[in-house]
Amino acid sequence: MKWNKESDVKQPSAERRGSAGLGSALAEYRGFGMGFGRESERAEEIENIDFKMVTFSLAGKDYGIDIMKVKEIAKFGRFTYVPNTRPFVTGVYNLRGEIISIIDLRLLFNLPVEPRDQDEPQDGLILRLENNLIGVVVDRIDRVVGISSESIQPPHPIFADINISYISGVVEHEERLYIILDAERIFTKDNRATDPQQRSDRGGERAAVGEGLAAQPGSDVEYRKQPTAERADSAAGQSPGGLESGDSDAGSTEVRDASATREAAAGDDSEFGFVVDGLATFGKLQYSAVNRDWLKQRYVQWATERRSAGKQAQLAGEQDADEFMLPFFSPCTARLWEQTYAEAVRAVLPDFDAAIVNAWNPGCGKGYESYSLAALLTEAYQGKRVKVFAGDNDLLRISTAPSLVLSPEEIPAYLQPYCAETRNGIGFSDRLKNSILFEYHDVLHESDVPETHVVLCRDLISLLPSDEQERLLTKIYEALVHGGILITGKNERLAHDGRWEVVGPEVSAYRKV
Amino acid sequence: MRVEYINPFVESAYNVLKEVLNGDVKRGELFLKSTAMPVLGVAAIVGLAGDVEGRVVFDMTRETAVNIASAMLEAMEMEPITTLNDMGRATINELANMITGQAVTKLHDLGFKFDLTPPAILTGDNMELSDSGVEALIVPMEVPQGKIEINVAIRERA
């Protein structure tokens, strides 16, 4: 995945490939040309196999589940039937002393089950979910397939025979098309909703946005937790995710169900949920407390604009998503900060006692903002040593950062003293360059972060998966010194959880309390 | 990992492999890894010290190691090997040394002072490699004799 905030206006997948370097760019190119099939396959072979999945078949179609979720592949026989459960709950099973519940995926997805001998053991998988194990019965286990996660394509609404929100993607491998199921979404309740503290922090809305069955009444989450409990509502109860609807309308019913659960979040419009999903699918933004206010306000504006133009509020494609996101980004994204913005940032910088002032700039892209920040810090903390740690996981962008070339007209006044003539044109002086350390780094990876006074992290948090957002915020909080400053995107808000204190009205910045 | 360190390693790996194996060398896509990863069977490790601390691991299957060592030995008009014996290990050691040495020389020219430790070779099945608190840059290389994964983890000394 790619968390570079500069990807705002371009297609992320293309960007990612762009960063891949010559080898894969070539492979990509050949791939388009066709007729070079073997050549491109060979080039792809040395590409990164970073996603392995266990594949299996259900009603003749191929599916995959992330191998990290699979504890083991098993043959299930002799289940203990549990009365009064939903039809897809096959029973409970004794796995070496641990009782796990078994779900028949074919019944869950409303697919035909081949008749078979009752006593014959059936193929299945034991999945390791967040906190528990669950067994699923499938037609046949195939094998383990390794692919590059970049080749996974987002699900398309046309795969309606399984609720689209259960599908994390589609991938082609050796001329077979695998539908990758998202085990967490199918079987797990959105864990954010289960943590009472977080729930109160972020309000119920966020929980309601959670995908899958979880948000719906009578969901199988309850079965999972108490497989043997009696369930009087099962006969009359509402079917989760259209499980019992056998007609061709099943897909759309499910989608409507899912959006209905999000209605609470939007307040007035069920299409809000689609927009949230769309943004996540296109890798633009992940809905969370950080960007909730903006997203709602932008949605209202967007829907009004679109309706007056006679269009639907839904995001029909990447282009729509880009358009939707346009106002999100902070001023001077991916370029040198203008004088006014720089002055506003300068105004929120407090005095620090230390002799060394460290700053951290994850998601720095080509480094324009890191240079701007380094210059401001040097100016603000004269006599102290300023060090900016800037990182990005886009190799191509970050590679250009250390030797950035500028055009004279784009250099604002406050940066003038830090510019110098270099071999390739006007660049930054060695003095400024030496105060910045550019790293090829992925913020999602474990790494040591030095004690930091200022963190510049604009429009990056919102692009991460929602659980990672919280992790990164905690990481930032821990890295900052007491009284340290976090500068976020102009539309990003931190929760009032006692950790942060708002500073400066002109720049969205927070002080560690 | 600091951006300036990446290219010297990629370039020297490409140059050295091309020179000693005299064949087609392809570089795969670079990526970062922070979790434990399996080692293919033969791993040559070179430690780095100086302004930084870190190590470079050259990881390949036993078969690839034998093929590469044979190709290098043949180029020097010596007997090829069939199993990974002392000669084979010494040859792989030398390859690791050449690549890392050239990279460090390039880095020296850029103003970074690195020292090398003598390479060590680990062989075995089902080995895993993990680093704590530092990401590894993976440079996959493909040569006619097989695949080599170059795993570079470098951390600035605080």
SS (H, E, C) A62-75: EEEEEHHHEEEEEE
Evaluate if residue A179 carries a pLDDT over 70: yes
Query: Quick one: A6 and A82 in the same domain?
Result: no
Maximum separation of any 2 CA atoms in chain B, in Å: 47
User: What pLDDT sits at residue A463?
Assistant: 87
Minimal C-alpha gap between B79 and chain A (Å): 30
Residue range B50-75: mean pLDDT, rounded: 92
Within 8 A by CB and 6+ apart from A505, the residues are none
H or E segment at B129? strand B127-129
Q: Which residues of chain A neighbour B54 with C-beta distances below 8 Å?
A: none
pLDDT of A30 above 70: no
Mutate to test the interface with B, among A439, A442, A451 (most CBs of B within 10 A): A439
Q: Are residues A492 and A354 in the same domain?
A: yes
Among positive and negative, which fits the CA dihedral B149, B54, B1, A464? Answer: positive
In total, chain B counts a number of residues equal to 158
Confirm whether A326 is domain-assigned: no
How far is it, in rounded angstroms, from Cα A343 to Cα A355? 23
Q: What are phi and psi of A435, to 5 degrees?
A: -90, -5
Q: Is the CB of B53 inside 8 Å of chain A's CB atoms?
A: no
Q: What is the spatial distance between Cα A65 and Cα A178, in angstroms, rounded to a whole number?
A: 10
- A438 contacts B32? CB cut-off 8 A: no
Q: Which of A241-245, A352-356, A426-430, B55-59 has the lowest mean pLDDT?
A: A241-245
Tell me, yes or no, if B27 comes closer than 8 A to chain A by beta carbon: yes
User: Pairing between strand A122-128 and A70-76?
Assistant: antiparallel
Asked if A358 and A442 sit in the same domain, the reply is: yes
Largest pairwise CA distance in chain A: 82
Quote the CA–CA distance of B133 and B1 in Å, as a whole number: 12
pLDDT for A5 equals 43
pLDDT at B13 over 70: yes
Say whether A47 and B2 touch across the interface (CB within 8 A): no
User: Could you tell me if A19 and A79 lie in one domain?
Assistant: no
Residue of B nearest to A28 (CA): B29
Q: With 70 as the cut, is the pLDDT of residue B28 above it?
A: yes
Neighbours of A260 (CB within 10 A): 13
In this structure, what are the phi and psi dihedrals at residue A391, rounded to the nearest 5 degrees?
Answer: -140, 155
Q: How many Å apart are CA A461 and CA A338, to the nearest integer?
A: 23
Mutate to test the interface with B, among A441, A452, A471 (most CBs of B within 10 A): A441
Question: In the numeric block, which tokens belong to residue A340?
Answer: 């006014």
The answer to whether residue A82 neighbours chain B at the CB level (below 8 Å) is no
Using the Cβ of B133 and the Cβ atoms of chain A, whether some distance falls under 8 Å is answered with: yes
Task: Say yes or no: A379 and A472 in one domain.
Answer: yes
Looking at the 3D structure of chain A, how many domains does it have?
3
- The neighbouring-strand residues paired with A134 are A101, A127
A58 and A35 within one domain: no
Contacts of A67 (CB under 8 A, 6+ apart): A52, A53, A54, A144
User: What are A81-86's contacts with CB under 8 Å, separation 24+?
Assistant: A82/A227, A82/A228, A83/A230, A84/A230, A84/A231, A84/A232, A84/A234, A85/A223, A85/A227, A85/A231, A85/A234, A86/A220, A86/A223, A86/A231, A86/A234, A86/A243
Tell me: pLDDT of B140 over 90.
yes
Of the residues A32, A47, A62, which one is the last residue of a structural domain?
A47
A370 and A439 belong to one structural domain: yes
- Quick one: tokens of A482? 């007491």
Q: Is A284 part of a structural domain of the chain? A: no
Domain that holds residue A490: 339-512
Measured between CB atoms, does A47 come within 8 Å of chain B? yes
* Nearest-neighbour CA in chain A from B61: distance (Å): 15
Model confidence at A2: pLDDT above 60: no
Say yes or no: A55 and A10 in one domain. Answer: no
Give the up-direction half-sphere exposure of residue B22: CA atoms within 13 A in the CB hemisphere.
Answer: 8
Mean pLDDT, range A18-47, rounded to an integer: 43
Domain with residue A351: its CATH number is: 3.40.50.150
Q: Nearest-5° angle of CA B138, CA B142, CA B147?
A: 75
Most confident of A3-17, A115-129, A296-310: A296-310
Distance (Å, whole) CA A100 – CA A92: 6
**Backbone dihedral region for residue A283 (phi beyond 0: left; psi -120 to 50: alpha; all else: beta):** left
Model confidence band, residue A200 (pLDDT cutoffs 50, 70, 90): very low
Q: Which one-letter amino acid corresponds to residue A369?
A: E
Is the CB of B150 inside 8 Å of chain A's CB atoms? no
Least confident of A134-148, A198-212, A445-459, B13-27: A198-212
Spell out the domains of chain B, with CATH numbers in brackets: 3-153 (3.40.1550.10)
Does the beta-carbon distance from B142 to A46 stay under 8 Å? yes
CB nearest A401 (choices: B3, B132, B142): B3
* Angle, CA of A364, A367 and A369, to the nearest 5°: 80
Averaged confidence pLDDT in chain A: 74
- Please check whether residue A336 is in contact with residue A368, taking contact to mean a CB–CB distance below 8 angstroms: yes
The token pair that represents A221 in the structure block? 């989450």
Distance to chain B for A24, nearest Cα, Å: 6
Nearest CA in chain A to B155: A448
Q: How far is A262 from chain B (nearest CA, A)?
A: 36
A169 and A95, same structural domain? yes
- Give A375: exposed, middle or buried? Use CB within 10 Å, 0-12, 13-18, 19+: buried
Per-residue confidence band for A247, with pLDDT thresholds at 50, 70 and 90: very low
The angle at the Cα of A460, spanning B37 to A463, to the nearest 5 degrees, equals: 75
Check A48 against B28: CB less than 8 A apart: yes
Q: Report residue A351 as tokens.
A: 């005095």
For chain B, say whether A400 makes contact (Cβ under 8 Å): no
Does the beta-carbon distance from A21 to B30 stay under 8 Å?
Answer: yes
Q: Which residues of A touch B32 (CB under 8 A)?
A: 393, 440-442, 445
Question: Does residue A259 form part of some domain?
Answer: no
Note whether A165 and A78 are same-domain residues: yes
ipTM of the complex: 0.85
Least confident window among A71-75, A128-132, A143-147, B117-121: A128-132
Same domain, A27 and A71: no
B29 touches A: beta carbon within 8 Å? yes
pLDDT over threshold 70, residue A412: yes
Give pLDDT, residue A258: 41
Looking at the DSSP assignment, which residues form a beta bridge with residue A73? A125
Please tell me whether residues A133 and A37 are part of one structural domain. Answer: no
pLDDT band per the 50, 70, 90 thresholds, residue A51: confident
* The two structure tokens encoding residue A86: 């939903």
List A135's β-bridge partners, or say none.
Answer: A102, A126
Name the closest residue on chain B to residue A440, using Cα atoms.
B1
pLDDT score for A373: 93
Question: 3-state DSSP call for residue A202?
Answer: helix
**CATH number, domain with residue A182:** 2.40.50.180
Q: What is the pLDDT of residues A260-319, one digit of tens each?
A: 444 444 445 677 888 888 888 887 788 888 888 888 888 888 888 888 888 877 887 888
Q: How many residues does chain A have?
A: 513
pLDDT at A242: 35
Residue among B32, B141, B158 minimizing CB distance to A440 = B32
